[in-house]
Structure 1
Amino acid sequence: MLKNIQEWIMVLLIVGAITLVGNWVGYNVMPVEAIPGILVLIAISLVGLILGKMIPVQIPAVAYISLIAIIVSIPGVPGSEQVVKWTSNVNMLAICTPILAYAGIAIGRSWADFRKLGWRSIIVGMCVLLGTYLGSAVIAEIILRWQGII
């Protein structure tokens, strides 16, 4: 378990550092302002990962992480205002960048398995992306017309 925790800390620190750079370059938030928020997010993630390993019920760690994040940001919980203030300096898209890069690297490691799927998987993937885009566009169109914005 200790080895897992050490690996998690390393990965979370790397993701946090990349997020700081992305937040700075993409959203003009100075790293000094975003460091407290990144540290809070790392702590919440680490506690959630540990709970996911310790609790014998088979619930994904992301559920624990989400639950902890919700609890510490509920108005009225001691320190919630500070947590929300700190984490509001971290842009969501700055967090997504290193996570998606990691996913790409993970897929890249299993490139041989991906090649076995063949060209049909690329077409299916393109159809899924197109369907998601068109579905989102239709929903946005309906909502915007309903609100009278367009």
Structure 2
Amino acid sequence: MLKNIQEWLLMLAIFGVTALLGNWIGYDVIVWEAVPGMLVLIGICLVGLILGKVLPGSIPSVAYVALVGVLVSMPWIPGSSFIVETTSEVNLLALTTPILAYAGIAIGRSWADFVKLGWRSIVVAMCVMLGTYIGSALIAEVILRFQGII
């Protein structure tokens, strides 16, 4: 278990540093202002990962991470105002960039497995991406027209 925690901490630290740099470069948030929020997010992720490993059942760790994040940010939880205030300095898109890069590297490492899926999986993936894009555009169009912006 200790080896897992060390690996998780290393991975979360790499993501944290990358996200802090992205937050600074892309959103002009000074790194030192966002460090407490990033440490809180890393702590929440670490607790969720540990719960996923320790508790019985086959619930994915991401569910525990989300549950811990929601619980510690509830207004009636002591310290929630600190958590909400510090994490508001970290932009969501600055967090997604390193995560998507990692996913791309993970897929890139296993091209042999990807090729085994065949050309049909590529067609399905393209349809999913196209459908997501068109769906997002339609939702944005309806909401912007409803608000009178366009």
TM-score with structure 1 setting the length: 0.93
Find the aligned partners of 2:38 and 2:72 in 1 and give their Cα distance.
15
Unaligned residue ranges in structure 1 (runs of 5+): none
Find the aligned partners of 2:147 and 2:95 in 1 and give their Cα distance.
31
Find the aligned partners of 1:118 and 1:52 in 2 and give their Cα distance.
33
Deviation sequence 1:55-104 (CA, Å, 0-9, x none): 01221111111111111111121111111110000000000011001101
* CA shift for structure 1 position 144: 2.7
Q: Percent identity?
A: 67
Q: Would you say 1:44 and 2:36 are equivalent positions? A: no
* CA shift for structure 1 position 139: 1.9
Correspondence for 2:56: 56
Deviation sequence 1:15-63 (CA, Å, 0-9, x none): 0010111001000111100000000000000001000110012211111
Correspondence for 2:114: 114
When structure 1 is superposed on structure 2, of 140-149 and 41-50 the one drifting more is: 140-149
Correspondence for 2:104: 104
**Structural RMSD (CA):** 1.3
Correspondence for 1:33: 33
Find the aligned partners of 2:21 and 2:71 in 1 and give their Cα distance.
28
Find the aligned partners of 1:112 and 1:73 in 2 and give their Cα distance.
42
TM-score with structure 2 setting the length: 0.93
Unaligned residue ranges in structure 2 (runs of 5+): none
Find the aligned partners of 2:78 and 2:118 in 1 and give their Cα distance.
54
Q: How many residues align?
A: 150
**Matching of residues 66-77 of structure 1 within 5 Å:** 66-77=66-77
Deviation sequence 1:93-144 (CA, Å, 0-9, x none): 0000110011011101111111223344333222211111111111222233
